[in-house]
Structure 1
Amino acid sequence: MNNAPLRRTLDQDICVHIFTASAAMVGVCITVIGLLRVVITLRRADLIGDDLLAINAMLYLVTCLLSYWALRTRNQQRNHTLERISDTLFLLALTLTTLNAGFITWAMSVT
């Protein structure tokens, strides 16, 4: 039994999900940066959280671009390599998002 067509379909499916989720998360990061800047201005306190979120948004953007490239490539080996890198970066960005949320919550409650 040949599972190559099934694997290709599943890989493209994963790539599409990473692409859409990471693109949405770029928007989420930018929105939170804007809200955080408003809070910083009102409280007259500066946080490093907006800088961390900017880095986070860049990670999501790179993930989004890599998954888009994986969807567009015809070379199957390049496709799998790009998917692996994109998947790893997406999980790293999700972890950073969680750490940022904890940091911002902690920093806001201390100040």
Structure 2
Amino acid sequence: MANTTSQHILNTAANLLGFCLFVMTSLHITNLTETHMIDEFTSLIAILLTCSCLFSFASIRTTRSGRERTLETIADYLFVLSLLGILVVILLISLNFIA
């Protein structure tokens, strides 16, 4: 069975990982103490995205179809979870600067 989403997950998760690193760097440069929770949450999302990249890459490289589907499913769930986390971070940043 050919990988259907692993290449897309790998590419997009790597790009979103760069977004998370940009957010963390921006928070450190501004030295905002009230953004400490956002920084830690963004770090957790970066870890989830990295794991999603690794599982997606492993899914692309494996030759066994059963393992391929399992790894792709894990990568998919980690990716969706990290997307929800990014939504929360964006909401927290928006609320932090509005208030």
* Equivalent position of 1:46 in the other structure: 34
2:6 is the counterpart of 1:18: no
Question: How many pairs align?
Answer: 98
Q: What do you get for the CA RMSD once the two structures are aligned? A: 1.2
C-alpha separation between the residues in 1 aligned to 2:29 and 2:34?
Answer: 11
2:97 is the counterpart of 1:97: no
Pick aligned residue for 1:36 from 11, 27, 37: 27
Q: Deviations over 1:25-48 (max 9, x none)?
A: 111100111112222x2xx53321
The answer to which structure, 1 or 2, has the higher relative contact order (CA under 8 A, 6+ apart) is 2
Tell me, what secondary structure is at the counterpart of 1:46? helix
Q: Percent identity?
A: 27
C-alpha separation between the residues in 1 aligned to 2:69 and 2:93?
Answer: 36
* Equivalent position of 1:5 in the other structure: none
C-alpha separation between the residues in 1 aligned to 2:64 and 2:21?
Answer: 34
Q: Which runs of 5+ in 2 are unaligned?
A: none
2:51 is the counterpart of 1:62: yes
Q: Deviations over 1:25-83 (max 9, x none)?
A: 111100111112222x2xx5332111111111110000000000000111100000011
Q: Which runs of 5+ in 1 are unaligned?
A: 1-7
- Point out 4+ residue stretches in structure 1 off by more than 6 angstroms: none
Deviation at 1:93, TM superposition (A): 0.5
Deviation at 1:95, TM superposition (A): 0.6
